Structure 1
Amino acid sequence: MEWLLLIVIGLVAGTLGSLMGLGGGIIVVPALMLLGSYTMILAGITPQVAVGTSLVIMIFTALSSTLAYIKQKKVDYKSGLLFFSGSGPGALFGVWLNKDIDANSFLVYFGIFIIIVSFILMVRKHLKPLKVSAKGVQRGYINENGEETIYGYQPVLAISISFIVGMCSGLFGIGGGSLMVPAMILLFGFPAHIAVATSMFMIFLSSIVSSISHISLGNVNWLYALALVPGAWYGGKLGAAINQRLKSDTVVNILRIFLIIIGIRLIWQGMTG
């Protein structure tokens, strides 16, 4: 029963992660930590193993959804590679921060982080993109209706934000899209679908870097990973398909309430553990 539950967790994480460019780790890590209190197979799981295993899963989620978005021609490769130049080193720094953290502190910090993410999801739709500066990189996108959107960014600012995103990825085992997608939409004027697709491309590259680091430290449980990968792979494809057809407002509303509940539960568990 527990193994079936892991497959379902992988599917849900892959679908939501791909749909909103989150990466899926924000579902996998708290699920592993919380289930560790109630199931035999996950008993005693450490934050390091939860994060390391999540990042391995994220490679497959991100690759699956990135391939789907490539077919839809929504990935901005140049921007994604520039963002990765910041998120890659940031991911390594996050792995270093993670290696000595104890379980209770991790639960509290991650709970606070999840609540912040839910707040970002709450206000994201109410904020308008800033005007694109004439300086720096400028890009254009023509949608299915032939309408062109101009967006752009200052490379130094983009790389700095990406570094922070990468650090959160290595530390918490999340893709970082929960921070990167809003930044791309609000600060740089990215169309929402391009932001999500490009975020998943960046997450794919960053998760490889941080996964290799966690594997070298012995922080991956391969049995858990094998159970989670099939659901994450198909979830990545499903999320990309839903993203193309539907507005994700309802999903976002459900997810942010779910995240607040999980965040409070993690903080409580960390403070009373």
Structure 2
Amino acid sequence: MEYILLVIIGLCSGIIGALIGLGGGVILVPATLFIGLTLGMIPDLTPQKVVGLSVVMMIATGLASTLSYMKSKTVDYKSGFIFFIGSGPGTILGAYINKGIDLPSFNLYFGILLIILAIILLIRDHIKPLQWFVKHGKKQTFIDSKDGKSYEYGYPIWFALFLNFMIGFASGLFGIGGGSMIVPAMIILFLFPPHVAIATSMFMVFLSSIVNSASHIYLGHVPWLYTIPVIPGAYIGAKLGAALNKRLKSNTLVILLRIILLLLGIRSIYEGLF
């Protein structure tokens, strides 16, 4: 039964992760902890194993999403590689620190992070995009093949590297993809067109997840018996999510995700404290 639930969790994580550019870890980690420990289906589960499972899953999510977005030509490969240069070392440091975290501490810190992410999703549409980073950074132009509109965006490379190092650290520590943090930053700070931000985010998630997974595999954090059922579900889900992204407005899903993250965050903090 637990394997069927893991496939379903992987599928849902892939769909939501690719649709909004999250990576899927914010769904998979709390859901797996719930069925594994709260419901007692995987009693030997630890925070380290859940994170290891999540980062390997994100390779499949990131790859499937990137392949889909490549066809629509919305991936900014240059920016993706620059962001990866910053996030890669961060994921290694996060994975190393993760090995010393017990379950109550993991629940507490992860819950705080989920609430922060929910707040970011809540306010991102109400914050005016900032011009400073574009004016003082490397400018780029994207021409939308659908409507022919031209978009100018940019960022100081030093700031992009620092920001993505911190995001990579959170990814390695908690098993999240980082897209939930970098996508709002790309849109608000760097003025990326939303569809380019999501596509580029998933490309960066794919690259970072390879390094992240290698770190957790080396540390012995990946429970392969439970990881293998998640991968096909996540891959198929990511393909579906990327396809839906081209057709649907994701506002409704973002609103639902804000509520889910807030509830999961509060529950995780409660379990960490009590």
If the length of structure 1 is used for normalisation, what is the TM-score?
Answer: 0.97
2:51 is matched by which residue type in structure 1? V
Structure-2 residue corresponding to 1:151: 153
How far residue 178 of structure 1 moved from its aligned partner, in angstroms, is 0.8
- For the Cα contact (< 8 Å) 1:92–1:167, is it kept in 2? yes
Structure-1 residue corresponding to 2:185: 183
Structure-2 residue corresponding to 1:236: 238
How far residue 134 of structure 1 moved from its aligned partner, in angstroms, is 3.5
Deviation by residue 1:197-232 (Cα, 9 ceiling, x = unmatched): 000000111111010010011100111111111110
Structure-2 residue corresponding to 1:136: 137
- For the Cα contact (< 8 Å) 1:91–1:167, is it kept in 2? yes
Structure-2 residue corresponding to 1:92: 92
C-alpha separation in 2, matches of 1:105 and 1:201: 31
Deviation by residue 1:60-93 (Cα, 9 ceiling, x = unmatched): 0110001000011000000000011100011111
Structure-1 residue corresponding to 2:21: 21
Structure 2: give runs of 5+ residues left out of the alignment.
Answer: none
Structure 1: give runs of 5+ residues left out of the alignment.
Answer: none
C-alpha separation in 1, matches of 2:227 and 2:166: 26
How far residue 137 of structure 1 moved from its aligned partner, in angstroms, is 1.2
How far residue 40 of structure 1 moved from its aligned partner, in angstroms, is 4.3
Structure-1 residue corresponding to 2:212: 210
Task: For residue 37 of structure 2, give the secondary structure of its aligned residue in structure 1.
Answer: coil
Structure-1 residue corresponding to 2:35: 35
- Give structure 1 regions of 4+ aligned residues with deviation exceeding 4 angstroms: none
Matched, 1:101 2:117: no
Deviation by residue 1:150-170 (Cα, 9 ceiling, x = unmatched): 000000011110101100110
How far residue 99 of structure 1 moved from its aligned partner, in angstroms, is 1.1
- For the Cα contact (< 8 Å) 1:168–1:174, is it kept in 2? yes
What RMSD in Å do the two structures reach over aligned CA positions? 1.1
Size of the aligned set, in residue pairs, is 272
Task: For residue 133 of structure 1, give the secondary structure of its aligned residue in structure 2.
Answer: helix
What percent of counterpart residues are identical?
Answer: 54
How far residue 3 of structure 1 moved from its aligned partner, in angstroms, is 1.5
C-alpha separation in 2, matches of 1:228 and 1:51: 13
2:35 is matched by which residue type in structure 1? L
Structure-2 residue corresponding to 1:170: 172
C-alpha separation in 1, matches of 2:31 and 2:235: 18
Out of 36-45 and 75-84, give the one that drifted further.
Answer: 36-45
1:270 is matched by which residue type in structure 2? G
C-alpha separation in 2, matches of 1:141 and 1:59: 27
How far residue 136 of structure 1 moved from its aligned partner, in angstroms, is 2.6
2:102 is matched by which residue type in structure 1? D
If the length of structure 2 is used for normalisation, what is the TM-score?
Answer: 0.97
C-alpha separation in 2, matches of 1:253 and 1:124: 12
2:156 is matched by which residue type in structure 1? Q
Task: For residue 125 of structure 1, give the secondary structure of its aligned residue in structure 2.
Answer: helix
Aligned CA distance change for structure 1 residues 216 and 148 (closer, same or farther; 3 Å):
same
- For the Cα contact (< 8 Å) 2:107–2:272, is it kept in 1? yes
How far residue 47 of structure 1 moved from its aligned partner, in angstroms, is 0.6
1:138 is matched by which residue type in structure 2? K
C-alpha separation in 2, matches of 1:18 and 1:128: 25
How far residue 46 of structure 1 moved from its aligned partner, in angstroms, is 0.7
Out of 248, 259, 265, the position equivalent to 2:267 is: 265
2:46 is matched by which residue type in structure 1? T
How far residue 39 of structure 1 moved from its aligned partner, in angstroms, is 3.9
C-alpha separation in 2, matches of 1:108 and 1:178: 19
1:147 is matched by which residue type in structure 2? K
Deviation by residue 1:214-273 (Cα, 9 ceiling, x = unmatched): 00111001111111111100111111111111110000001110111111111111212x
How far residue 125 of structure 1 moved from its aligned partner, in angstroms, is 1.1
C-alpha separation in 1, matches of 2:259 and 2:42: 25
